[in-house]
Amino acid sequence: MGSLTSFPPELLAHILSFLPGKDLATAAKVCKAFHEASKVDFVWQRCIHREFGVSCNSSLSPREVYTKLLHNYGFLLGTWQIEIKPYGGLVHVKFENNKLLGLQYGAPHDPHVEWPMMVKELFHVMLDEEGNTTISCLQGPQGPHKGQIPLLNASAARFMSKCCCPDLHRHPQGREREFLEWCREEMGMSEEDIMFQHMQELLFMKFMIINQYQFCYVYKKLTIPPHLPDQLVAPGLFKGTYGSHGLEVVLLTYDRNYIHCKKITGDPNVPASQLSVLVDTKKPLILDEEQQVDPAELARATEEADKEEEETNGNSASCNTNQPQEGGASGSDHNVSQQHLPQSQPFAIPEGFRERGINYPKTCKMRFCGTGLIAGHGFTSPSRTPGHFVVFDNNNFGFLWLELRSLSVYSRVMENLD
Ligand SMILES: [Zn+2]
């Protein structure tokens, strides 16, 4: 030890900076030289970057930030799905100055898939000059108030946030005003828009359920896999059109030859966490414009792709019956190859399909057979129905629901939620 402690303090600090944060605190107790070296800021800055992947830009000491804030609450960093049945929700927790800030990302107003996400502050865990951490709920019109994040099992794939003052979430002008403001802000709906009874019922149900949950949210960790070189579309989050339910968020991932689009937000028919779109990349389609506008021709092309794939692979699965394989490895062994397919083909919406004024490109890169999940209200009688997955580019794709005769379009969430 004698030789180590005789090192110049900056060299000792450099050596200590390789230690995990929990060992740094122990090392500081070994001797005076270690104690002094452990007080150097960059030792902790380096440790914070290595263990939490963030840069410590705080006005407070990095040692305090590590020991009082990140050591206990750093596991919150990253992307989460809120467990609100059936609606779900997307949350990202980031580190900013002296706090961890939980932000909810809502889909923009229907049908503007290309618009940015709507961001709302949910909670923060803040470290003050005195070294105290405060947890606050940031919901409601009246500013920060007391909140809790029970540390049941830190670093687990789940956590919970609670509000201690639910009354502060209420609108001062009463419940009806609160509902109308919520419709305007969250859904982009005016009072005239919500005169339709069906729409009014859907909105009111969503408003009531979200209100019940907002005092205690449970979050489930979301992992977005990296983009592998031969993947046609990079994995990630997308906003998509879901008819009268408005825009919803899906997570696109790969599992062998399949592309999965799982709902991160959902609706009373098909809830969050369900596999909305399943794409079989072994069933590519090349169709000219004439074939594309004729629904009968589309059904025939889908059947042929099924048959061809069966003959090639001796596989009895068809587009209509493919079942997702839950928990499969993402992107590890898929073989979506673009080598023998054209880089571009025309894209046209079939006659009689609903497109709801959506702007869509007139060409696409690839088209595949797939299935989409449909269900009655309350997720009754769920079934997979045939469709075509149409790749416009890395950030935009569409799904043609052949039997429902409609087109959903999806656009990548561009906000950085890594
Ligand atoms: Zn609150």
**DSSP character for 321?**
T
CA of 120 from ligand 1 middle (Å) equals 13
Residues 6+ away with beta carbon under 8 Å from 84? 209, 210, 213, 217, 272
All structural domains of the chain? 2-71 (1.20.1280.50), 77-222 (no CATH), 236-412 (no CATH)
Distance 152 CA to ligand 1 centre (A): 20
Q: How far is the CA of 165 from the centre of ligand 1 (A)?
A: 5
Q: What is the pLDDT of residue 154?
A: 55
C-alpha of residue 299 to centroid of ligand 1, in Å: 51
Give the Å distance between the CA of 273 and the centre of ligand 1.
26
CA of 28 to the centre of ligand 1 (A): 40
Question: DSSP character for 243?
Answer: G
Residue-level pLDDT at 319: 44
Instruction: State residue 259's pLDDT score.
Output: 97
CA 20 to ligand 1 centroid distance, Å: 35
Q: How far is the CA of 163 from the centre of ligand 1 (A)?
A: 4
Q: What whole-number distance in Å separates Cα of residue 413 and Cα of residue 249?
A: 9
Give every CB contact of residue 342 below 8 A, 6+ residues apart in sequence: 286
Report how far ligand 1's centroid is from the alpha carbon of 164 (Å): 6
Residue 357 CA to ligand 1 centre (angstroms): 39
Query: For residue 104, how far is its CA from the centre of ligand 1 (angstroms)?
Result: 14
Ligand 1 centroid – CA 122 distance (Å): 8
| Separation of CA 61 and ligand 1 centre (Å) | 29
Q: How far is the CA of 155 from the centre of ligand 1 (A)?
A: 24
Q: How far is the CA of 139 from the centre of ligand 1 (A)?
A: 5
Gap from CA of 218 to ligand 1 centroid (Å): 14
Give the number of other Cβ atoms within 10 Å of residue 296's Cβ: 9
CA of 146 to the centre of ligand 1 (A): 7
Q: How far does the centroid of ligand 1 lie from the alpha carbon of residue 253, in Å?
A: 34
What's the confidence (pLDDT) of residue 23?
A: 83
Centre of ligand 1 to C-alpha 87, Å, is 20
pLDDT number for residue 155 = 58
CA 75 / ligand 1 centre spacing (Å): 22
> Measured in angstroms, how far is the CA atom of residue 263 from the centroid of ligand 1?
27
- Residue 138's closest CA among 174, 168, 108? 168
Distance, CA 39 to ligand 1 centroid (Å)?
37
Would you say the C-alpha torsion 367, 368, 371, 372 has a positive or negative sign?
negative
Q: What one-letter code names the amino acid at 134?
A: T
Q: How far is the CA of 142 from the centre of ligand 1 (A)?
A: 9
**Distance of alpha carbon 24 from alpha carbon 16, whole angstroms:** 7
148-171 as b/e: b if 16+ CB within 10 A: ebeeeeeeeeebebbbeebebbeb
**Residue 232, class by beta-carbon neighbours within 10 Å (0-12 exposed, 13-18 middle, 19+ buried)?**
buried
Q: Which three-class secondary structure state does DSSP give residue 79?
A: strand
Say how many Å lie between the CA of residue 170 and the centre of ligand 1: 10
User: Whole-angstrom Cα distance, residue 123 to residue 144?
Assistant: 8
Cα 248 to ligand 1 centre (Å): 25
262 near 276, Cβ under 8 Å? yes
Q: What CA–CA distance (Å, rounded) separates 329 from 15?
A: 38
- CA 213 to centroid of ligand 1, rounded, Å: 11
CA–centroid distance, 123 to ligand 1, in Å, is: 8
Which tokens in the block code for residue 273? 């966490």
Give distance in angstroms: CA of 147 to centre of ligand 1: 7
pLDDT for the residue 314: 59
pLDDT at residue 329, rounded to an integer: 39
* Residue pLDDT tens, the chain, 418 long: 456 767 777 788 887 788 888 888 787 787 887 787 777 888 888 899 999 999 887 788 899 999 999 999 999 999 999 999 999 999 999 999 899 999 999 999 999 999 999 999 999 999 999 999 999 999 988 899 999 999 866 557 899 999 999 889 888 898 889 999 999 988 888 888 787 778 888 899 999 999 888 899 999 999 999 999 889 999 999 999 999 899 999 999 999 999 999 999 999 999 999 999 999 999 999 999 999 999 899 989 988 888 887 777 655 444 444 444 444 334 434 444 444 556 789 999 998 888 766 778 899 999 999 999 999 999 999 999 999 999 999 999 999 999 999 999 999 999 998 7
